Structures are given as C-alpha cells and as structure tokens.
Structure 1
Amino acid sequence: MTTERAAALSPDRRRELMARLLAKKAAAAGIPVLPRTGAPLDCSHEQRRIWLAGQALPEAAPANVTLGVALTGELDLTRLSAALAALVAGHEALRTRYVQVEGLPYQDVRPAQPVPLELVDLTCLPEEDREAEALDLALAAAGERFDLARGPLLRLTVYRLGPVEHRLFLVCHHIAGDGGSIALVAAELAAGYSGAAPVAPPSHQYADYAAWSLERARRRVPERLPYWRERLAGIEPVFPRVPYSPAGAGRGSASVAARTGRDTVDRLRAGGPLTPFAVLLAGYLMLLHRLSGRRDLVVGTVTSGRARRELEPVVGCFINLVPLRVHLPGDFPVLAARVRETVAGALANEIPFDALVSGIGGHRLPGVYPAFQAAFVHRDDPAPPPDWAGLHARLWEHEVDDPSFDLGLTATPRGAEYELALTGRLARFSAADLAAHLKTLLAILDDPAGEWRL
C-alpha cells in the first residue's frame, strides 16, 4: 500500500489493518504444528542430552521426576485409572518411545493405550509401620529405570495404608517430563478423577516444540557460542577426579536437608537488588571455596524453556543446563552482586547445553559431568495439591537423590523458611560429610562476614 493511500484511510481502518499485520507477524513467529504422518519425529536438544547420557552411563542419567499425594477418603481406583488414561491420551510425550537412527534418538509417538496402575496393599503390616514402608517402596520405585525403546515412560502406584488412607506415587522418566509437567499432571489427574469436563488436548504437543527449538538453536548457537568459549576457557574441575568404575561401584548418592528462615535470606538481600537465587548461590559458592580451596568456580543451574504461552499446557522436558562461572571476590556483598551479573550474562547468551559442550570442545571423561561438577537448583514454593472430589489431599513429601553431579544444592521455599537439601555422590562424600557441609553452609548464610569471610 502506498503512503498516499494509507493517508486516505480513516484512523479506524488504519488500526484494523495494523492489527491484522501484527497478527500475521505473530502467527509467523509462532510454533508451527507438525503434520503427524507416523514417521519418527526429531528430538529436542533436551531429549537428546538425556537419551545420550542414559546410553553412555545409565546409572548417571538424570533422576526420574516424581509426584506424591496423600489421599484420605474412599478412593475409587476405577475413576483414578480412567483419569490416568485420559491424561496419557492428551499428551504425546507420555506415550512416546524412542528409536535410534544413525546413533541419534527420534520420537515415535504411539496411540493412546491404558497405563498400568499398581495397587500395593500394606494393610497386612502393623499400622504404625505402613507409612514408612510406603515411603521406602516409593523411593525405591523412583530409582527404577524405564525402557525408552518400549515404554511406557510413567508409572502410577497406589499404596493402601487403610480403608480410607492411600498414598499415590507417580514416576515419570525425565525425557518425558519436568517439574512443570508434573504440576500439569497433578492438576489433570485430580480434575479427571473429580469428574470435571475433559481437558482439551493442548494446541501444541512436545514434538512441535522440539522441531521449533531445533530451528531456533540453529540460528542462535553460532551467534552465542563465542561467548561461552571465552567464558569457559581454561576451566578446571572443582574437585579432584574420582576414579571411574565401569561396574558403577560407589556411584550412589545421599542427601541431607535442613531449614533456614526466610528472614536470613532477606537480610542478606538488603545489601542490594538481589534475588534469593543470587544470595543462596553466593553462600553455596563460599562453601565450595572452603571445600576446594579455589576461587575460580563453575556451578551449573537449570532454566525452563516454557517462555511461550502455547507451551504452558504442554507436558515434556523443557529444562536446560547453564554453567555459571564466578571468580570469588573478598566479601559476600560483592560476591552476590557478581553472581547476579553472571546469571544475567549467561541467560542473555543461553544455548542448549549439549550444543555448548560440543562447541567448547575438550576431552570428555567417563563419569565426569561436562563443564561443571556442582549444581544449584532454586525451586518454586510447592503449590498445594489440587482438589480431589470427596477426598482430602496433601503433598506426600519425599526427596529423590540425583547422582548426576558430585555435589548439588536444592533450595525450596517452605512458607517462612527455606529448605536446603545437599546431595552428593558417595564416591566423594559420605552422609556424615554432607551433614557437616550443610551445617557449614547454614553458618555461612547466618554470618557471611564472620569467620567464613573469604
């Protein structure tokens, strides 16, 4: 349209045409929906990373994702089974298996099929022992491996503690879901059980995201890789190498947890515009300095790729690993500010972790995680379980150890407190070591300018 013709249009007509133009641009920039022809579909970078890790060293693959709910009331297993079937039917990622073509995985989306629901009756045990036994069985089930080539990639188990007491425990392979996915699963299971109108399948499925994200990475990686090559040049392991055992001996892990008040974290944030993430990571870096004697440290963290609205209702694995390299200064306020700057730079240049590792090169060692050995995860405040019609529901707390890293800190807000869980590989840390290190971390956060000063 010429400038003269545009000027002749009424303001309302110009606004209408502009709205249409913007809508076309938004549609063009959206995530395309792929045709489903039955042919294998590309895996995302996230899926490839998890699949390759499992192929190289199955016992070091990322931990499964889990959901635990305690239910009080008369549980209808038939209704629960139907809700589970509807959930799987609506989300392709939960009914996908993985086929290998020329050394790389591809998604093979299968038709909806009933998912086994296992009932474990513990009423034969003394009443006072049932809860602990259910928790032990659930934690063991959380570590069981899935067959990616055959599926299914999730299991639902119900532990019966009494006529009106049940513990629901769902385990999902990380290639099929993440923490955000489990929240969706919990909501849809509860809605389906409660007889709500069936949830319409999302407009996009995970395979659509995978193809779109691969194309996005093809554009971004060449532009952003120089940042990471410079940023991670000359990095050294935080800890000495642990001898690798092909048999997997000593690759187990253990966790210890404790709580600190939110007021402690808020007090440390008062020195500047700092987030709880920056404050807690700064304290963790001080602990790593005490353990290693090093001031040049790399810690990995996770980000979520659900930045687009059409991905909010999609079940799948969207998390990415991001290395944060920090040179520790002499005091805590400067360190926390440096952490904030490091996080901002890393997020502005984020690329898929497997592309980052391949792009920076270097020799890969069996049993050693590339780019970093220590990890930090800041979780959201756990939401209460959704309503289950006729039942009282509450979160069934559990902690699944992740053996992927030598040492990991997970921070979870719990009301007026933060729960800090320190997980370490037993090949490097004993449970007593972890307890002592967590005590040191709490002391650092309580008084970072005291005897813990760098």
Structure 2
Amino acid sequence: MTEGQAERLASLSDRRRELMTRLLAQKAAATAIPRLPRTGAPLECSHEQRRIWLAGQATPEAVPPNVTLGVAVTGELDPARLSAALTALVARHESLRTRYTAIDGLPYQVVRAAQPVPLELLDLTCLPEEEREAEALKLSLTAAGERFDLTHGPLLRLTVYRLGPLEHRLFLVCHHIACDGGSVGLVADDLAALYSGSDLAPPPDPQYADYAAWSVKRARERAPGRLPYWRERLAGVEPVFPRIPHKAGTGRGSATTAVRVRRDVVDGLRQTGPATPFTVLLSAYLILLHRLSGRRDLVVGMVTTGRGRRELEPVVGCFINLVPLRVSLPGDFPALLAQVKEAVAGALANEIPFDALVSGIGGHRLPGVHPAFQAAVVHRDDPAPPPGWEGLRARVWEHEVDDASFDLGLTATPRGEEYELALTGRLARFTPADLTDLTGRLLGILRDPAV
C-alpha cells in the first residue's frame, strides 16, 4: 500500500475503509508474483540465468565475471561466528543454494535445502608484515576468477585472509548466475547483521525462483508486441569493430585501465542538455567509439536491472539485462545528448530479455562477434561503506574483475566528488597500452566534447 492510499483510507468511515482495504488487497493479489511450491522438482530458469548458463556451455569466456565482495576488518574477528553467519545467509537466500540441471538442452534450477557452507581461513602472518596485504590482494584476484560447478555447487566461497591478530580481509566470490552487482549490497548488509546478531526481517518472499517463473511468463506475453520495434531499430546493424581473426599467439582474456574525472566536469556538460550523468558519459563513450571506428551509426549495449518491484528489493539473484542502444551521431554535443536520451527512453519502453530479443529478430550471426553489439556501458552506484560489524571496524576492500564479454566495455562508478571510468578491452583486440591511451582520450572528450 502506498502512502497516499494509506492517507485516503484513514479519512474514510469504518465500513468504507474495510471495503477499500479489501479492494486494494484483491488488486495487490492479482498483480503479485505467484509463489511456487517447493517440492524439490526442477524449476524454470529466468532469461538471465538461461543466458549465462548457455554462454558457459558454448563460450566460457563470454560468461560475466564472478561477483565479489571484499571487506577489510580490524578487531577481534570470530571465525566460528562468521561461519555461522555465512550459513544463515545462504539459508536466507535461495539463489545462493540453487543448483542447475539440463533438461532437453535447457537449464533448470533446483533449490537445495540449507546446509553449512565452508569458510576458508588463510593465515598470512608467516610472511613479512609489509608483504601480507599485497599477497592477500594477489590471492583474492586469483580466487575471483575461479570457476564454479553449477551442477553440484556451492556457488559461493568466503575466504578470510589473516594479516595479523586484529587485521583480516574477507573476500566473498559468487557465480553471476546466483548474484548480480545489485545484490552485493544486500549480501553485505545481511552478512554483517547476522554476524552481529541483529534482528532481520523474515526471509524475502517471493524468492528468486518465483521471480524467474513470473518474469518468463511476462516476457512471453510482452515480446510479440515489442519485437517489431527491435526489428526496425536494429535493421542493417553492422559490427563496430571488424571480426578478430583467430591466429596463434593472439592475446586471450582482457585488461582494464581506469581514469577519474571530477563531477563538476560532468555536471558542466549536463547543462548543455539538460541531461543525466549517465547520458553525458554514454555520449562521450559514443564519440570515442566513433573516433575508433570511423562510424557514426553505432550500437552499444546498456546493462539494466529488472528489480523494479518493491517485493524484489530484498531478493538476491541475477536481475541484469542487456539492452541495445542505436544512435546516429549528429554534428554537435547537445544534439547528441538529445539523441541518446531518446534512444534510452525508446529502448527501456520496449525492453525484453536480451536472449528473447536476439532470437526474435533473427538474422545471420557472425562467429566470434557478440550479437547486436560489441561495446557496452555500465553505470554503477557509489559503493556504500560496509555496515557495522559488532566489535569490528570495517571498510570496503574493493576488487575490479575484468569482464571479457565484450570487445570494449565502459564502467562508470561515482567516487565522492569524482567519477571513475574504467575501460575493459579484450586482449585479442587491445593491448594494455591501447586501453591506457583510450582512457586518456575519453577524459579529453569530456573536457572538450567535439563530435
């Protein structure tokens, strides 16, 4: 019930209030996400889960990187208490104890009963004190890239690096099929609360498996009416970059370089629109792609989250979707901002799951070329400081994980009075030196955005 509805109810007579309450309850029940029975039988996967699973079967390097959470804590850490908190966290969120099985070539999810989750403790105090932090960083970055067994699980690991009696680094790694970037804050909050013995609300209801079945049904209903928009919008699209030839010795994996730009630089460009920071940064990225490719007709991917309903806010799972944006660059920056805003609005109004979009528009697929787009942009929230851990001082211990899903990706993250702009490129196309040059060029575009 919204605040306005509550106010209207309070002003009614008892009889009319009872009637309106009943009507609102019926309306909410009619639109609510149905709860599925948990019988142990396989349940339908969401489009997001299916896309990640199928990518892993065909091209493992196309799977989004694992989701990570790093927390540095100072104080008397109790490992047994932390282990119990981790087990309670997994019991609370079904997606963290879900396994996957193939039926007729498609994935289905099986929610397992809650059980203890192993916690690994690595004692680095045998090393010289000045080397311990660097070694913990090195080990955690390796752990971030480790593979998970989707059939047997578990799909998350928590490692504690002991740097001293009162210094520890907690590093949680989770497969992207079970947890996305928007869920990391939920995981961090719940883990801290469970460690501290704080009272939590009841477990989320619905859980992710309920959302999965509901979202697939909704996409099935919406797709026929929205596919004509995408067929027209993406007609005649050509890859931004030429296909990478498969040659011996070609670089594998990806690399990332980052640069920071002050908020006032971005805010100054916003006034020429007006526009949001995302629109400004995306427009600058499009200019960079134009200068790289020589093309003015460009398609980039925008990463969105499908957590638009209030009952989904406390749910841990994978809600991300990929949405193509096609923009024809005009001759000046204010006009580009207007075109980008129009493209974003049209894409979001017609959004459907990316795999349904790709299969629905058909067309010839080029081997080694990502469907619909090769470049993508992600706008993340400003990382919040870690919540209070009883008896401990905590701070964010961040790790960037390279995403090799695209030839070139831009991740924009607010950092106080600045934006961090990270470019991740496939080493088959860009060298680390190339990426360093590109971040400098992107910064130059923001300072002087001549199209």
Normalising TM by the smaller chain, what interval?
over 0.9
Is the CA contact 2:100–2:107 (under 8 Å) kept in the aligned structure 1?
yes
| Aligned: 1:290 with 2:295 | no
Q: Is structure 2 residue 41 aligned with structure 1 residue 39?
A: yes
Provide the residue aligned with 2:167 in structure 1.
165
Q: Is the 8 A contact 1:123 1:162 kept in 2?
A: yes
Q: Name 2:326's counterpart in structure 1.
A: 325
**Distance apart, 1:368 and its partner CA:** 2.1
**What letter matches 1:419 in structure 2?**
E
> Offset of 1:133 from its aligned partner?
1.2
Deviations 1:148-199 (A, max 9, x none): 1111100101111111111111000000011121111101110111111355
TM-score, normalised with respect to structure 1: 0.95
Identity %: 78
Q: Deviations over 1:97-119 (max 9, x none)?
A: 10000000000111111111111
> Where does residue 5 of structure 1 map in the other structure?
none
CA–CA separation in structure 2 for the residues paired with 1:165 and 1:22: 52
Residue matched to 1:281 = 282
Between stretches 10-19 and 314-323, larger displacement belongs to 10-19
| 1:129 corresponds to 2:131 | yes
Aligned partner of 1:392 in structure 2 is 393
CA contact (8 A) 2:155 2:175 kept: yes
Partners of 2:136 and 2:153 in 1: CA distance: 25
| 2:99 equivalent in structure 1 | 97
**Structure 1 stretches of 4+ moved >3 Å:** 10-16
Q: Can you give the 5+ residue segments of structure 2 that lack an aligned partner in the other structure?
A: 1-11
CA distance in 2, matches of 1:335, 1:211: 39
Between 438-447 and 16-25, the greater mean CA deviation after superposition: 16-25
**Structure 2 length normalisation: TM-score?**
0.95
1:64 maps to 66
How many residues are treated as equivalent by the alignment? 440
User: Quick one: structure 1 residues 438 and 35, their matched pair in 2 at CA, closer, same or farther if it must change by over 3 Å?
Assistant: same
Matched to 2:73, the amino acid is L
SS at match of 2:100: strand
What code does the residue aligned with 2:240 have?
V
Q: Which amino acid aligns with 2:193?
A: A
Shift of 1:31: 0.4
Q: What's the secondary structure of 2:299's corresponding residue?
A: strand
SS of 1:264's partner is helix
- 2:251 match: secondary structure: coil
Task: Name whichever of 423-432 and 271-280 sits farther off.
Answer: 271-280
Q: Deviations over 1:236-290 (max 9, x none)?
A: 0000101247x99633100001110000000000112300000000000000000
**201, 204, 211: which one pairs with 2:203?**
201
Q: Are residue 304 (structure 1) and residue 305 (structure 2) matched? A: yes
Q: Residues 243 and 368 of structure 2 are in contact (CA less than 8 Å); yes or no, is this contact kept in structure 1?
A: no
Identify the match of residue 139 of structure 1 among 138, 141, 149: 141
Change (3 A) 1:353 1:180: same
**Aligned residue type for 1:355:** A
Alpha-carbon distance in 2 for matches of 1:232, 1:16: 51
1:428 correspondence with 2:425: no
* Mapping of residues 367-386 of structure 1, within 5 Å: 367-386=368-387
Q: Which amino acid aligns with 2:31?
A: A
Is contact 1:59–1:251 with CA below 8 Å preserved after alignment? no
Cα distance in 2 between the residues matched to 1:22 and 1:248: 64
Greater shift after overlay, 359-368 or 282-291? 359-368
Deviation at 1:200?
2.1
Contact 1:244 1:366 in 2 (8 A): no
**Structure 1 residue identity aligned to 2:439:** L
Give the alignment partner of residue 183 of structure 1, picking from 179, 182, 185: 185
- 1: CA distance, partners of 2:14 / 2:29: 23
RMSD: 1.5
Partner-residue secondary structure (3-state), 2:366: coil
Letter of the structure 1 residue corresponding to residue 389 of structure 2: W
Q: What's 2:4 paired with?
A: none
Summarize the Cα distance change of 1:108–1:249 in structure 2 as closer, same or farther, 3 Å threshold. Answer: farther
